[in-house]
């Protein structure tokens, strides 16, 4: 992948991350999907890992997915994980002893009318060749 394409992807990811409000979290996969990269959780993680302080990203608001309704601090470095926990708790996000966060309470769900992007659902393929079944015609 050309570096200009990678830079463009990272820029889209950074824009999504900046929209996550205080007191809310989003998963790496959700950030990637909202940036137009379905299935790109690792790309979102790489974009955060290579970001610089001058990017001024609220990185603490992006967490790993630990189930349908739970997220988890995904930093393996104990100092970084403690910093993320501290920052999230300072914003009012409850973080369990094992680093779990309730997505049904603190998960960010942008709405189409809020100017924060579409909901994190896959869009239908625009070039789809599938036809409606004969029962629908």
- Average pLDDT of the chain is 85
Q: Tell me, what's the pLDDT at 101?
A: 98
Q: Confidence class of residue 111 from pLDDT cuts 50, 70 and 90?
A: confident
Contacts by 56-61, CB closer than 8 A, 24 or more apart:
57/14, 57/17, 57/18, 58/17, 58/18, 58/20, 58/22, 59/17, 59/84, 60/84, 60/87, 60/88, 60/91, 61/17, 61/20, 61/24, 61/25, 61/26, 61/88, 61/91, 61/108
> 9 pLDDT band (50/70/90 cuts)?
very high
122 secondary structure, DSSP code: P
Predicted local confidence at residue 1, as pLDDT? 61
Which has more pLDDT, 38 or 116? Answer: 38
Residue 68 has pLDDT above 70, yes or no: yes
Burial letters for 33-48: b for 16+ Cβ neighbours within 10 Å, e otherwise?
bbbebeebbebbbbbb
Instruction: Summarize the confidence of residues 37-63 as an average pLDDT.
Output: 95
pLDDT digits (tens, 9 = 90+) for 15-28: 999 999 999 999 99
pTM for the full model? 0.79
Q: Is pLDDT of 135 > 70?
A: no
User: Domains of the chain (ranges plus CATH)?
Assistant: 3-136 (1.10.10.10)
What average pLDDT does this structure show over 79-83?
A: 95
């Amino acid at each position: 992948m050309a570096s200009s394409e990678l830079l463009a992807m990272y820029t889209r990811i950074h824009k999504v991350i900046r929209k996550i409000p205080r007191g809310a979290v989003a998963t790496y996969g959700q950030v990637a999907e909202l940036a137009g990269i379905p299935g790109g959780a690792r790309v979102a993680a790489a974009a955060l890992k290579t970001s610089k302080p001058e990017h001024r990203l609220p990185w603490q608001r992006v967490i790993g997915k630990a189930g349908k309704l739970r997220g988890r601090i995904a930093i393996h470095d104990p100092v970084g994980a403690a910093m993320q926990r501290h920052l999230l708790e300072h914003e009012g996000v409850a973080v369990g002893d094992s680093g779990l966060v309730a997505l049904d309470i603190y998960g960010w769900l942008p709405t189409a009318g809020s100017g924060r992007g579409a909901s994190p659902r896959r869009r239908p393929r625009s070039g789809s060749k599938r036809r409606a079944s004969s029962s629908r015609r």
